[in-house]
Structure formats: structure tokens, C-alpha cells
A and B are shown apart, each in its own frame.
Chain A
Amino acid sequence: MISRKLWLWGGVALALGLACGWGLAGPVAVFGQNSNLPGAVKSPEPSLSPAPFSNAKLKVFAQALALIEEQYAEPKTTKDLVYGAIQGAVGTLDPHSSFMTPEEFRELQIETKGKFSGIGIEITLKDRVLTVVSPIEGTPAYQAGIKAGDQIVKINGVSTKHITLMEAVKKIRGAKGSKVTLTINREGFPHPKDFVITREIIPIHSVKARILKDGIGYIRITNFQDQTDHDLQAYIKKMRKRLVPLKGLILDLRNDPGGLLEQAVRVSDEFLKSGLIVYTEGRSRSQNMRFYARTGQEGKVATVPMVVLINEGSASASEIVAGALKDQKRAVIIGTKSFGKGSVQTIIPMEDGSALRLTTALYFTPSGVTINDKGIHPDIVVQEKKPPANETLQKFRDELLTRHMRREGLTDKAWNQPITQAELDRDPQLKTAVELLRHWPPKNLAQLLATPE
């Protein structure tokens, strides 16, 4: 049986390095079947009714296909040609529609389930050398003693020279219980050393947190996948125990490319008592849905003062959350205008394992505003800290990476370690949010939350 799945897809991924197993980067989308929420999609059965194509144009297509089969410089399989043709057809649609080969579709499913089978390291190509960005705590790689900055010179005895990140990820990942041998070059090693590591199921955490001394909690969502709402609830619970009283919450959605529509709804629901969160409109009626906050189901933080941080890297699911909290005047939005990706994609699996990702609906914030191309405008505009003018972006990027490898990034530290003044000074948007919550309510709150025009 072919099932239809509802996804939201972020338009941008500004994250640093690619993670082995997609911990860090990557626009993410997740299965959206959910019977608990109102307006859930009913998957229509695939039907093969007559297609309305004019034979004239199809004849041209057939003629071209035959010409390639006969005359192209080397033999091509029909399958390859058809894949190319479907790519081309999808290429005439909006940029969020795409065609995925079976391999790409499998990758996406791994990405979005919130877990995969591997050893738990983030990797990158640093100066063309395959390098460990960080081992994820508690994973087999961490226990085996893999360290940030380690160079992986061989995987299972095969040199990693000229390897692409994608190939490396694929080689390191594998079935649970199987083993992979990494040959590691580390400063202080007289010669490269082999590490044999047994693969396990590695959870991908999409929620990270920190606290501030004055009763303010900081939560960052990196993408919206299957486990996001659970992780969010867990952190809120821990924070409410640690910070008494919990005076304010900062929800950081910067550079969050989005993910599952259902998860955007669930995350919004956590902060809202009632009311509309988002609605969608498509060409077919099955795509028209309204999602409401469930009264009585809200988390215990529905009245805690709140700031949401966004930037041009916040897209899709992030924009739903920011839009709902803004329209319901639940939170002050700080940062820069969001990406502006207000469309819903449905994943349509094809019978050979490939899949179409089609834009099937647009979504609208409770006040009826489409996010498409417009984005969410912050209530308080604060620019990000720009790299010094004489510094190249590459250098800036390298520095960020180095900081992450030394576990000096904001969310690299333990959640219960208070954010320092130095960290706030590095991040003007966060600093503004903290100032606002420290002096809550601000005198101009009503004005801040007023809908412009």
C-alpha cells in the first residue's frame, strides 16, 4: 500500500558542518500522520484514472526517447532517462517540489525519524581531510574515545582521500550491532590507530537548552522531527524544576529550516491555551486543514513570558510556530525577517522506491497571512553580529567550526550551565531577548505586539 505523507520542507540550511547522521545540518521533514490533531489528512488511495495528456506532446516525448536510445553516444537505461525526465518535469514546478531517487528518499526518511543506526559522530571535511567535529555524548563513538578534531584516514581499511561527505556518512553508518573500523590520526599519536566501534541506534536531538541565572530558560529547536515535541517537553519539565519561578522562556528558531507540520503544531500547542495555530489550503479539498491548540492540553508554561528568536534561516515549520505565537500575541518575536517558505509538501512514494515531493498546499497564520515569500516580521528587529569586514566568510565559518569542535558553542554546553555575559555579548539578538524578559513586562508591550497596519 502506498501511503501519502505530509511534510514541510525548509528552504535553507545555514548550519555549519554536515553531521554524520545529520545531527547538525539539513532541512528536515517528517511524517505527518496524526490522528490526535484536528484536521489530519486522510491519505487518498492511489488511483489510476485516465491521464489527460494530449497525445501530440507525448508523441514528441516518445520520439525523443527513441532517438536517445538509438543514437546517444553510449547506451542509457530507460530508467535513467525517465528519472531525468521526472526531474525535468518537477523542475518546472516551485523550488520546494523535487524528485528523489530511492537512495535519496531513504536518506530523508532516516533524517526525519529522529534516529539512525551508526556510531554517533558529526564529521566534516576540514581542509579536505575527513575530520570529526564532535562525538555525540553517550554514543559508541564517544565511549570508544573518538575526539573532536580526530582525522579519519581510513574507514574499514579504505583510504578516505577524495571521499565526499555523503560517501563517508554512508560508510560509517550501518546496521545496529555491526562493526566499523576507523583509522584515526590524532595529534600525539605516533602513527594512526584503529578504533573498532559497534553501531547502535543513535537518537538525533532536535532540541537543545541552556538556562540563565535569573530564572530564564533558553530552548533551541534545530529542526522539527518525530521526537521534537517529546524533547521539548522533557526540557521544560527539567527547567521548571531547576528554575523556580520560571520567569521567562526564549525559544530560538534561528537557522531552523523546518520539518514536520504536525510537530510545528505540537510545539505551538505547548505554549498556547487555545485558538487557531495554522491552516492550509490546497487545490484538492483533502489539503484544506485547520489546526487548533487543544484546550486543556497546553504545557505548564502557557503563561510564562516568552520571546521567539528568528532570522532569515528560520523557515517553514519554524515560521508556523513564530507566526502562531505572534498572531496570538503570545510571544515577542526578535531577530530578523524569516525565510518566507509557506508551502506544504506531500511526499508521494513511487512504486520503485523513489518519491515525489510535491507542493500541495499553502499555509496561513491564524490572522490569514500567507508566509510564502513574505516571511514573519519580528516585533523587534535586531541584526546578527556580522563578521568583521576584513574577514572572509570562509574564515568566519572556520572559526565557528573550531568553536564548535572545542564545544564552546552556545548549545554545546550542558543545559544546566548558565549562559555567561560573554556568551550574551557574542549574540546581540539573544541579549535583547534576555533584557526584555528581565524587565518584563516592557512598558511598550501592547505596542510591540500590535499588528501593524
Chain B
Amino acid sequence: MISAGPGWGRSARRLAVVFLALGLAAYFLLPAWAAPASNYDSLRLYTEALFEITHKYVWPKKEDALIYGSLRGMMNSLDPDSSFLTAKEYQNYLHGQKDVPAEAGLVLIVKDNLLTVASVIDGGSGFRAGLKPGDHILKINGHMVRNLTTQEAIRRFQGAPGTTLKLQVLRNNEVKPLDLTVTLEPLGVSTVTTRYLDHGVAYIRIRYFNNQTPQELATILGNIKRKQPPVKGIILDLRNNARGTMEEAVRSTSLLLGNKKILMAKGRSPKTEESFSGKDRDLIFKTMPPLVVLVDHGTARAAEIMAGALRDDARATLLGAKTLGLCGLTKTFPLEDGSALVMTVAQCYTPKGDKIQGKGLEPQVLGVTPKAGKTSAKSPRKEITPEQDPWVQQAVELLSAKKSKQVAQKAPASQK
């Protein structure tokens, strides 16, 4: 429960005049802030803005809608994981999280007020429709996307199998928006695949994380361990992977690091600091083959935790491009009228203390820029094999030259 805190004394009288004049007694329920004067100025700015809108906007506007809009805007301004949910959306959120019948295979976030594709799951319908990480979705079925929260956006892209969504998509470097159509469908079952490449290199692809991923990865790593002749190196592909929970990341990373520290979570106060480690019995390799982890702008959340932990342990070389930097732990706070806030309360740090949220992880080896292909922006994408993939080839070279370890030691563990 919120209560008026101490420290109201000094400027209270002046403020009382202002806020009572505005009919905003509700603010007296707020606790005291560190720097009252500027905060009150800010609040006065808010009420002034609401006043102008209700009086001058060409079409009359309900104040409730404005305040709900404000809450959305305020939460969206925090980070892509924080959202305001109306009472109805909150109910959907509580009941709709499990067993999604069909989806577009996209990881969506709201960034700078734009609905943005953070990653596109391999082989999903969004992937086949040609969506790419970084795309901004402007319209869904002809409706302009405005003031949508991340949670609500995710829900729009879930539904009955066969549902089609017509999207207008703005892509960097494209002059005009693209029209793409995605059909919702169930995502395939397996999240991890593997393949043996030349030079004794094993390639592991994690498409996204779910609660099956640690088990799937354990099976695959077990197979790699038994492989004869022994593999000389492993490529772990975490590109374009932004879905997964902290727990899934910890369990998966534990297979490679055993009981080592995997991440730290820090909130507002030092008391909230917590570190998470794996278990020794999970450890699959006694001696790990050299490891290269592929990352890019679509690498976030669980994948970032895993990449950060492997890098800090000097077990792996990160190759590719800087990661997205989205790795917050959220908590839900129900509000008085049945609505709720989903809010980031703690952020992830790598074992060595590098903050991931908002910063991302820098790769130790930059991926070579692929030459611009002649494919049209709208053409559906085909999955390319690892043999055709320039970064995978770069990783193979790194591993077959057995440079991996040296590279990892030479490169600074954390940049800047």
C-alpha cells in the first residue's frame, strides 16, 4: 500500500495549491521523492498536457483512455520487457502463456515506440514470409500499430493455426514499406539441431529456448562426446535467438560449465543481488573441445546469458556481431483497478560483472560482412546450410587452425 511519506513539509503548501487547483488530490498518495521540486514540476507538466488534450484535441477524448495511454507510454519508455496491461490484457496474460496453438515464430519487442522484430525463429512461418530481425511492423491487417505493449503484441501473433496476418513492414535501407503475409502455425518440436562439418567440427544450432532445450542439448552434447574420432571443436550457433527464460539458460549452460557461476542478477538495491550457478553433475565434458559461439543482433535473453557465461569462463570465443542487450528479469504488479504492470526488476550481468541489458555483448571476432546478395527484399527466405554460411565457415577456420584458445585469451574478455 502506498502512503504519504515523511519529508512533505517544506514545499507542501505551494504544491497543495497547485495540485488542488488541478483537482489532483491523488498525488498526495505518492511517497516522498529525493528531489521534490523538479518532480512536482514534472507532474505539473503531465497534468498540463492532459488538460490541453482534453480541451483542445479535435475529437473529444475520454480521460480514462488518456491515462491508460499514459501508463502504456510510461512503461514502454522503461525497456522493451516492461509493459502496462489493462485488466483484460492481464487476464489474457495470466491464462494465455502456456500452450500457444500456433504462432508466427517471431520474437517481438517494442523499442522506441516501434514494434520491432528482435529475432525470427528458423523455419517458422515468419521466417518463411521473409521477416528479418530489426524489421519494424507498421500495420497488422491494415491497422496501424500504435501504443502497443510487448505483451499485447506477442498475443496478436498467436492464435488458431491457419490464421493469416497481413503485415506492413519497414526495413532499414528500404525506401517503401514491404507488405508481407504470415500464417500462424505450430512451431516445430525440436529447438536444437546438430550437424558434423569438415575438419572434425560439430555444429549445434539452438533455434530458441524452451523448457525442453536443456534436455535436447544434453542428448546432443552426449552424442558429440562419444563421437569417434573425437571432435576437434564445437560451434554453438546462438544467432537470431531471443526467446527463453533465465532458468532455461542456466540449465543449458550448466551442461558446459558445471558448477561455475553463470550469471548475476542485480536489482535496485544491493540486497537484490543474486548469482546463479550450474550443477557439477550436469557437466558433460571433462575436457571441453574448443568452442566458438556465434552471436548477432538477434541474440538476446537466454542466449545472451549463455554466450556471456561461456565467454567469461574463457571457454568460448564469441564470433559475429554485437548482441541485442535485452536481458531483464520481470515481475508482475497488479494495480488497484485490475490492471497490472509487467516490470523489469533486475538485470543480468555476466559472471565477471558486465551488464548485458541495454549494452549487449561484443564479439571477440567480428563476423565478415556477407556480400550483398541480389535477392529481392520480399523473396521468401530459404534456410542456408552451415556449409554455405560465411560466419560458420569463419568459425570452422578459427577452430581448425586451433587458434580458438589463443584468440580467446588475447581478446579482452570485456570490451570498453
Contact = CB atoms under 8 A, between A and B. Distances in A.
Contacts of A356: 49, 52-53
A51 B42 CA distance: 17
Nearest to B39: A78
Contact of A64 (B43, B46, B84, B176): B84
Contacts of A166: none
Contacts of B344: 72-73
Interface string A352-371: 10101011111000000000
B66 to A, nearest CB: 5
A88 B58 contact: no
B335 A63 contact: yes
Given A54-B64, A67-B333, A89 B58 contact: no
Nearest to A393: B175
Nearest to B27: A62
B49 A350 contact: yes
Nearest to B329: A73
Given A84-B78, A88-B72, A91-B72, A52 B175 contact: no
Interface of A: 14, 48, 50-95, 97, 99, 282-284, 287, 343, 346, 348, 350-352, 354, 356, 358-362, 392-394, 396-397
Closest 7 pairs between A and B when the two form their complex, measured CB to CB: A88-B73, A84-B77, A92-B69, A85-B70, A91-B147, A58-B26, A78-B39
28 contacts: A51-B23, A51-B54, A53-B63, A55-B25, A57-B64, A59-B29, A60-B339, A63-B2, A64-B74, A68-B343, A81-B77, A86-B49, A87-B77, A88-B74, A89-B49, A89-B73, A91-B147, A92-B147, A93-B53, A283-B56, A283-B58, A283-B59, A350-B49, A351-B48, A358-B57, A360-B57, A362-B58, A396-B175
Interface stretch (B30-38, B100-108, B235-243): B30-38
A397 B335 CA distance: 50
A43 B377 CA distance: 49
A356 B45 CA distance: 11
Given A66-B30, A359-B58, 6 more contacts: A59-B29, A64-B341, A68-B343, A71-B267, A348-B52, A352-B45
B337 interface: yes
Contacts of A87: 73, 76-77, 113
A64 B42 contact: no
Given A59-B26, A60-B335, A89-B49, A54 B63 contact: yes
Contact of B61 (A92, A284, A352): A92
A53 B336 contact: no
B46 A85 contact: yes
A56 B78 contact: no
Contacts of B22: 48, 50-51
Contacts of A74: 268, 347
